[in-house]
Amino acid sequence: MSNVWRRVCRSIRSSKFQVVSIIIICFVILLYTTNDSPTETSEDLRIKINKRQQQNQQLFTRSKTTKNNITSNAKSINPYPFRVVIAPKPCTNEDVVFIVHSAVQYFDRRMLMRYTWLNKNNLQKTLALKVKIVFVTGMTNNTNVLTKLSYEQEFYQDILQSDFTDAYLNNTYKAISFLRWVSSKQGCPNASLIVKVDDDALMHSVQLPRFNETVHQILNKHRENVYMGKLISTHVNRDNSSKWFVSYELWPYKRYPIWFQGLAYMMTPKLAAKLPSLALNTAYMFTDDVYVGVLVSKIKDVDLIIDNSIVLSQGWCSVLPRAQY
Ligand SMILES: *[C@@H]1O[C@H](CO)[C@@H](O)[C@H](O)[C@H]1NC(C)=O
Ligand SMILES: *[C@@H]1O[C@H](CO)[C@@H](O)[C@H](O)[C@H]1NC(C)=O
Ligand SMILES: *[C@@H]1O[C@H](CO)[C@@H](O)[C@H](O)[C@H]1NC(C)=O
Ligand SMILES: *[C@@H]1O[C@H](CO)[C@@H](O)[C@H](O)[C@H]1NC(C)=O
Ligand SMILES: *[C@@H]1O[C@H](CO)[C@@H](O)[C@H](O)[C@H]1NC(C)=O
Ligand SMILES: *[C@@H]1O[C@H](CO)[C@@H](O)[C@H](O)[C@H]1NC(C)=O
């Protein structure tokens, strides 16, 4: 543990880190200033999106699940047979749950996040709300990593690990695992908001006041189903030489429904609670963020809020060396 921490400190002190941070900060400011569209209010957007969602709904002839039984894997087209191996403490009265998708061996990134922008005490002060942080990982057969992870859990109590293999193509299982945990009695069913980020997400402090405002706006509306984030495109990649290629077999429609970039999106726990049972009857797609968008599109009365100002930049990966164990 102390070894990891020393390495984190070393990286922070190195001039490379400082140069990269400056580049990231400039990039964040650039995004922050160019993404604003003051002519269109979020209410306008919401109406536009709701119209779009109704069109999407007509596409989904396949969606027929209504049973809210997430334990039933019988005859499901996308069974989820995995179990929780390590669980964080259940929520007590936390308002906002930060969920971080994290690769199991990335101790450094989790450490950096705990002591920088995702620091629980700082966030609680900024937001004036009770906050919970949970890192979501999968399984590995590397015993060194598992041993370290158990120490990490002993110390921080903020790891959710399930027994599917931790792999890029299993990212959607990671999403399903947190959706199940968060809405279970052992999770945070009574929280008001989930903020999902990746372990390479970075929020600069200039963003925090605006983020704070956004969070409180959502909470003040007391809506049951809210899904909010950055919309990149609903285009489906049909270029079979691309890494992102999606076959007609997997996705037969022209476009995706509204989905928000996995780097950072928010949703209400009440919406999250409705998704695991839908996942059992929604064909697996490895793109976890698109998949969550597809699940959400099967639910009526969702406030879909496009907010391109949830500006996080993918920073850590260029700063930290890849962990070797
Ligand atoms: C949920 O599924 C399990 C396993 O198939 C079954 O035993 C249970 O009765 C179901 N519960 C409800 C409420 O349908
Ligand atoms: C965040 O917003 C809340 C509610 O508006 C406010 O009480 C709090 O002071 C804000 N935090 C900061 C750091 O401005
Ligand atoms: C461990 O997992 C990796 C990748 O999942 C696999 O290639 C390797 O064979 C496994 N090793 C053992 C000892 O099971
Ligand atoms: C995803 O997890 C399952 C269950 O552990 C495993 O069988 C599968 O190989 C994993 N996929 C990849 C791409 O590693
Ligand atoms: C959630 O709230 C309900 C009703 O207020 C309460 O009965 C339940 O115990 C709470 N659950 C958790 C896990 O806090
Ligand atoms: C990729 O698509 C092109 C044209 O759509 C097709 O001719 C080609 O056979 C495809 N390649 C593979 C590997 O499927």
User: Mean pLDDT of successive 10-residue segments in the chain (325 residues)?
Assistant: 59 59 57 43 52 46 42 76 95 97 94 93 95 98 95 96 95 97 94 94 82 92 94 89 85 91 94 95 92 95 85 55 51
- Ligand 5, atom nearest to 90 Cα: 13
- Residues 123-151 as b/e (b if ≥16 CB within 10 A, e otherwise) read bbebbebbbbbbbbbbbbeeeebeebbee
Total structural domains within the chain: 1
Domain that holds residue 109: 2-319
Q: Tell me if 42 is assigned to some domain.
A: yes
The CATH number given to whatever domain includes residue 309 is 3.90.550
| Test site for ligand 1: of 68, 71, 280, 281, most ligand atoms within 8 A of the Cβ | 71
List residues bridging with 132 in a β-sheet.
97
Q: Which ligand is nearest to the CA of 247?
A: 6
Stated pTM of the model: 0.77
Q: Which residue, by CA, sits nearest to atom 4 of ligand 2? A: 216
By C-alpha distance, which of 87, 189, 183, 92 is closest to 134? 87
Q: How far is the CA of 292 from the centre of ligand 3 (A)?
A: 29
pLDDT at 73: 64
Query: Tokens 């039933």 identify what position?
Result: 72
Question: Does residue 324 sit within a domain?
Answer: no
Query: Residue 325 falls within a domain, yes or no?
Result: no
Residue 144 lies in a domain: yes
The per-residue pLDDT for 68 is 47
One-letter identity of residue 214: T
Q: Which atom of ligand 1 is nearest to the CA of 74?
A: 5
CA of 180 to the centre of ligand 4 (A): 19
